[in-house]
Amino acid sequence: MNGIKILGTGRGVPSKLVTNEDMAKIVDTNDEWITSRTGITHRHHLAEGETITDMTVLAARRALENAGISADQIGACIVATLTPDTLVPSAACCMQHELNLPHDTVCFDLNAACTGFLYALHTMECLLNASERKYGLVIGAENLSRITNWEDRGTCILFGDGAGAVVVESRPEWPSISAILGCHGTDQMLRVPGVEKGVPSLIYMEGTKVFKFAVEAVPYCIDQVLARTGKTVDDVDFFVFHQANARIIDLAVKKYHIPQEKYYKNICEYGNTSAASIPLVISELHEMGKVGSGSRVLVVGFGGGLTWGGAMIEFA
């Protein structure tokens, strides 16, 4: 099986900035309470008239330009999201139209909540093995502000909107990303009801239970990826974690003695952006020069489903 590596990255961020002070005007909360418990100071929300398609197209165009790849070279496109503008057509199909990707490009959405980007990367690795065109677009994008319960002070402070994209290439001499994926199907801790269910399609989450799940899932994924690849913590150039809560990341960093120069938190700026979280981090790191050609990045995601995943991703 051919492996994939990242060639380029890009991101699209909404124009509306929402601070903790803004949140205090909506629900009974304050900046100190939010920051101390989550690490979030502000988040971006889609303004009126902005769409998921706007963000995905912007992120994808930037990733293509960064990679030096033209749209007609793309063999497949996957958008990881639980909040597309429309169920049909999918966000990926809308983006295919805007970018003028070839008509035979495989395009579809994938929903694995906050682990969606990793599920999409592994799926892309498999798809490109059977494609004549060996380049793929993988995007994580969310409009969580649209499904946020603004009366729930425990959850409305957490979520933001955004999109991150990567262009990957498949080659037979490259290693697999060694993805570790799993799920434990339950709607008891974290759910969003579907359309026409008689209740609002808003996020419901039991934060304490989800936190406990996350602090167990993260080290499991790290251990599994390191075991599968035969690598150690020292062999990893950078660790990228889903940005759900700063304390979850801090616990993992402490457990594995990860030096400060090998991990990054941007939750303070974006909040929890679900499937967009990991590619937003990767895009920022790439732009800052912290990762690049030859970098080996261990990525961990976890979230609704309940889903979890890890992978070892390299830059070409």
- pLDDT digit string, tens, across residues 147-185: 999 999 999 999 999 999 999 999 999 999 999 999 999
Domain hosting 185: range is: 1-316
* Mean of pLDDT values over 139-144: 98
Catalytic residues: 114, 242, 272
Cα–Cα distance measured from residue 67 to residue 166, given in angstroms and rounded to the nearest whole number: 9
* Mean of pLDDT values over 283-288: 98
Q: Tell me, what's the pLDDT at 106?
A: 97
Give the number of domains in the chain: 1
pTM: 0.96
> Residue 110: helix, strand or coil by DSSP?
strand
Q: Is the pLDDT of residue 63 over 90?
A: yes
Q: Is the pLDDT of residue 133 over 90?
A: yes
Half-sphere exposure for 130 (CA within 13 Å, toward CB): 6
DSSP classification of residue 176: P
> Which of 10-14, 30-34, 187-191 is the least confident region?
187-191
Report which of 179, 177, 108, 172 is spatially closest to residue 137, judged by C-alpha positions. Answer: 108
Q: Is the pLDDT of residue 240 over 90?
A: yes
Q: Tell me, what's the pLDDT at 1?
A: 79
Q: Is the pLDDT of residue 17 over 90?
A: yes
- What is the overall mean pLDDT for the chain? 96
* Mean of pLDDT values over 243-271: 96
What CATH code is carried by the domain that includes residue 248?
Answer: 3.40.47.10
Cα–Cα distance measured from residue 70 to residue 53, given in angstroms and rounded to the nearest whole number: 19
Q: Tell me, what's the pLDDT at 196?
A: 86
Q: Is the pLDDT of residue 315 over 90?
A: yes
Q: How is the chain split among helix, strand and coil, in percent rounded to 5?
A: 40, 25, 35
Q: Is the pLDDT of residue 229 over 90?
A: yes
Phi, psi at 192, each rounded to 5°? -135, 110
pLDDT band at residue 195 under the 50/70/90 scheme = confident
* Mean of pLDDT values over 85-105: 97
